[in-house]
Amino acid sequence: MCDRRIWRWCEHDPAFVLLRLIAVLDDSEYEFSSEECDRWGIVFYDRATNPICCCMAAPGCRGQSQQRRLSCPAWERTEDDYHRRAMETAMSSLSKVMQQLKKKGTEQTRKTFARHGAPDEMFGVKVADMKVIAKSIKGEQDLACELYETGNADAQYLAGMVADGGLMTKRQLQFWAKQASWHMVAETTVPGVATESPHARDLAIKWIDSKQPAIAACGWCTYAGLVAVTEDEDLDLQEIQDLLERVETQIDDAPDRVRYTMNGFVIAVGSYVQPLLRRAKQAAKRLGKVSVDMGDTACKVPLATEYIEKVENMKRVGRKRKTIKC
């Protein structure tokens, strides 16, 4: 019989999935084409874990004996060779996506994003164009992480569209929060993936307590996203009430972006948590008009009382979302 264990090394390119199959052989015969072996890196081992053949291309070579490897010119390929090929494929995919982003960038979009606080390291790609690229690399989790690590603002936003937060570790999510290039990423991209993770609540609380405004804002947005996608019975209502009180007492002394996201948190609670609608409306009334420096833009801070009232009039209070990703 053949005991098969498969490790998926690389899946950055949908057209190239590199697999390594290790088989322990009896007297049975297993045939693979040379194309399959070359593409998947199939390596056969005998019971002493000695490599027998990694090509099966030679006539009559079916990996039945250790001696067969001498007639197989590909048997000397090592694990490092296949790892190198996987890395080269990954780098190639990353390069191609970055080239696509660069091609889609426009000077007008760059100027618009810059006015909103975006860093110089960006191409200026419209969200609609990013969605097209994201669709073409859907499911490429490792590639998404590599895009984020570039530090490019467009690449980071795209990474959030592609990545599955449910597959990310707490450490990865913390890295994303710390490395967010600007508030659009910190307040949209990171919360989008974080709310898909079982670590969402713990990280939100930790980030809210951060002394770094960008991370604190990320925390408020993450908790706001959490109440939007989580059923009321699974939420800690007392903790949310405590956070509403915290907003009331601390918002005046908070940095601009933290004030903005605190206001957004109150709106989220009033819109998505039916049992706390009344309490959220009280908090919104106490906040009144929140003053935030929005820079050289026409953006305004939403008035929490009006926003919650609008949702209430539409009879949409408590209606949950599947995701907070745009």
Residue at a domain's end among 163, 189, 205? 163
How far apart CA 274 and CA 235 sit, in angstroms, is 11
What does the block give as tokens for 129? 């164009």
In what side-by-side order are the strands of the sheet with 43-45?
Answer: 3-13, 16-24, 43-45, 51-53
Q: What is the model's pLDDT at position 35? A: 52
Q: Are residues 222 and 302 in the same domain?
A: yes
β-pair type (51-53, 16-24): unpaired
Q: Do 14 and 23 contact (CB within 8 A), yes or no?
A: no
Q: What is the model's pLDDT at position 326? A: 80
Q: Which amino acid is at 135?
A: K
Instruction: Give the start-end residues of each E strand in the chain.
Output: 3-13, 16-24, 43-45, 51-53
Q: Are residues 60 and 132 in the same domain?
A: no
Q: Which amino acid is at 213?
A: P
Q: What are 171-210's pLDDT values in tens digits?
A: 999 999 999 999 999 999 999 999 999 999 999 999 999 9
Q: Are residues 197 and 292 in the same domain?
A: yes
Q: Is the pLDDT of residue 75 over 90?
A: no
Q: Is the pLDDT of residue 319 over 60?
A: yes
Q: Do 223 and 238 contact (CB within 8 A), yes or no?
A: no
Q: Are residues 201 and 324 in the same domain?
A: yes
Q: Looking at residues 211-238, what average pLDDT do you find?
A: 98
How far apart CA 153 and CA 121 sit, in angstroms, is 6
Q: Do 145 and 172 contact (CB within 8 A), yes or no?
A: yes
Q: What is the model's pLDDT at position 127? A: 96
Q: Are residues 325 and 191 in the same domain?
A: yes
Residue at a domain's end among 77, 106, 124? 77
Q: What is the model's pLDDT at position 16? A: 30
217 Cβ contact list (under 8 Å, min separation 6)? 183, 186, 187, 257, 258, 260, 261
Q: Are residues 107 and 139 in the same domain?
A: yes
Q: What is the model's pLDDT at position 313? A: 97
Using DSSP's 3-state secondary structure scheme, residue 49 falls into coil
Q: What is the model's pLDDT at position 295? A: 87
Q: Is the pLDDT of residue 265 over 80?
A: yes
Q: Are residues 155 and 54 in the same domain?
A: no
Q: What is the model's pLDDT at position 60? A: 41
How far apart CA 265 and CA 147 sit, in angstroms, is 29
Q: Looking at residues 100-108, what average pLDDT do you find?
A: 97
Q: What is the model's pLDDT at position 203? A: 98
Q: Are residues 122 and 228 in the same domain?
A: no
Q: Which residue has the higher pLDDT, 144 or 326?
A: 144
Q: Is the pLDDT of residue 7 over 70?
A: no
pTM, two decimal places? 0.74
Using DSSP's 3-state secondary structure scheme, residue 4 falls into strand
Residue at a domain's end among 45, 77, 109? 77
In this structure, what are the phi and psi dihedrals at residue 260, rounded to the nearest 5 degrees? -60, -45
Q: What is the model's pLDDT at position 83? A: 52
Q: Are residues 66 and 123 in the same domain?
A: no
Half-sphere exposure of 74 (CA within 13 A, CB side): 19
Domain tally, the chain: 3
Q: What percent of the chain has pLDDT over 90?
A: 71
Label residue 44 by pLDDT band (50, 70, 90): very low
Label residue 22 by pLDDT band (50, 70, 90): very low
Q: Is the pLDDT of residue 30 over 80?
A: no
Q: What is the model's pLDDT at position 144? A: 97
CB neighbours of residue 140 within 10 Å? 23
Q: Are residues 176 and 261 in the same domain?
A: yes
Q: Looking at residues 216-243, what average pLDDT do you find?
A: 98
Using DSSP's 3-state secondary structure scheme, residue 52 falls into strand
Q: Are residues 93 and 180 in the same domain?
A: no
Structural domain boundaries enclosing 150: 84-163
In this structure, what are the phi and psi dihedrals at residue 224, rounded to the nearest 5 degrees? -60, -40
Q: Is the pLDDT of residue 64 over 60?
A: no
Label residue 94 by pLDDT band (50, 70, 90): very high
Q: Do 182 and 199 contact (CB within 8 A), yes or no?
A: no
Q: Do 53 and 21 contact (CB within 8 A), yes or no?
A: no
Q: What are 51-61's pLDDT values in tens digits?
A: 444 443 333 44
Q: Are residues 218 and 309 in the same domain?
A: yes
Q: Looking at residues 239-250, what average pLDDT do you find?
A: 98
